[in-house]
Chains A and B, each alone.
Chain A
Amino acid sequence: MPINKDFIGKSYPASPPYLVGREKIREFATAIGDNNPAFHSVEAAQALGYSDVIAPPTFAFAVAFSTMAAAIGDPDLGIDYRFVVHGEEHFEYARPIIAGDELVVINTIEEINYVRSNEMMTVRQDLQTVDGEHVVTARNTLVSRGTAPAEEA
């Protein structure tokens, strides 16, 4: 079953708040092998003008990913995740994510189109604080391999 194009433009309610923990940032930085002091040392981050450790740029994905299934796992959307690979990822930052941030994610389906036999779906993920301050916009393009309808492929 192809992805349901009626979902283009659909925006989902804000996710439950995600509290960004200092140890989670350290764990993520360690997992990517990144010893940058701004990700590990409160003093180093404060010397740069931040209130606490900041997160590596791609940490935004981990926050956004945790909300994605709830938003686009809708059976009517018709995505079969066995066929899905990650096609593109883009981030625009108003500021880095900082330990202590309480973030909500608003998922919006921006585009669904066909490229040969593949379907591509781009989801915009706006990360903002619970007080409404915009922090990051992520655009995640998923590729569903070989699932485009034959007549439009």
Chain B
Amino acid sequence: MPTLAEVNVGDELPAQSFPLQRLNLIQYCGASGDFNVIHWNERIATMVGLPNVIAHGMLTMAEAGRVLTDWAGDPGRVVKYGTRFTKPVVVPDDDKGATVDVSAVVTEKGEDGTVTVELTATCDGSKVLGKAFGVIKLPAS
């Protein structure tokens, strides 16, 4: 687990890629309780103007959050986490689905023992999260 002393502004957290297929969306529907039809029904998703079934924004946020919690060691050290949902992650019904690529960089060290991390999440090269950030409270040493 990193300590405040050894972390510097500009440090990159280990980047991760998260593959998402239809099964993952259905599993997330059940686990989260969000059964919005656009996350599992292609007929209705396209009827309301979407290119195809899309992942829950909160599923994308959950995946991106793993970059924070894996780095923090103790996931309970994440004291703030926020994002905008700027572009849907489209998950086609094929053997490939979609992949969300997440990178993260330390942008601030606070006086209060926290570090702020900015997250970048892309799918097919387009940003899917906007102003995504986490604040993590680290031990001093």
B12 close to A (CB within 8 Å): no
The interface stretch among B2-10, B27-35, B90-98, B117-125 is B27-35
* A58–B62 CB distance below 8 A: yes
- Over the window 36-50 of chain A, the binary record of Cβ atoms lying under 8 Å from chain B Cβ atoms (1 yes, 0 no) is 101100000000101
Residues of A within 8 A of B78 (CB): 57, 93, 96
A65/B85 contact (C-beta < 8 A), A32-B66, A34-B66, A38-B76 known: no
The interface stretch among A5-13, A83-91, A111-119 is A83-91
A89/B34 contact (C-beta < 8 A), A38-B75, A57-B75 known: no
Q: Which of A28, A54, A89, A92 contacts B57 (CB 8 A)?
A: A89
Residues of B within 8 A of A2 (CB): none
* A32–B82 CB distance below 8 A: no
> Do most interface residues of chain A lie in helix, strand or loop, or is the interface mixed?
mixed
Interface residues of B (CB under 8 A from A): 18, 24, 27-28, 30-34, 48, 56-59, 61-63, 65-66, 68-70, 74-76, 78-85
Shortest Cβ distance from A88 into B: residue: B84
Interface contact tally, CB-CB below 8 A: 104
Q: Which of B32, B69, B83 contacts A28 (CB 8 A)?
A: B32
Residues of B within 8 A of A80 (CB): none
19 A-B residue pairs with CB within 8 Å: A24-B31, A27-B31, A31-B30, A33-B24, A54-B76, A56-B69, A57-B62, A57-B68, A58-B58, A61-B32, A61-B58, A62-B33, A82-B48, A86-B85, A90-B81, A90-B82, A91-B82, A93-B81, A96-B78
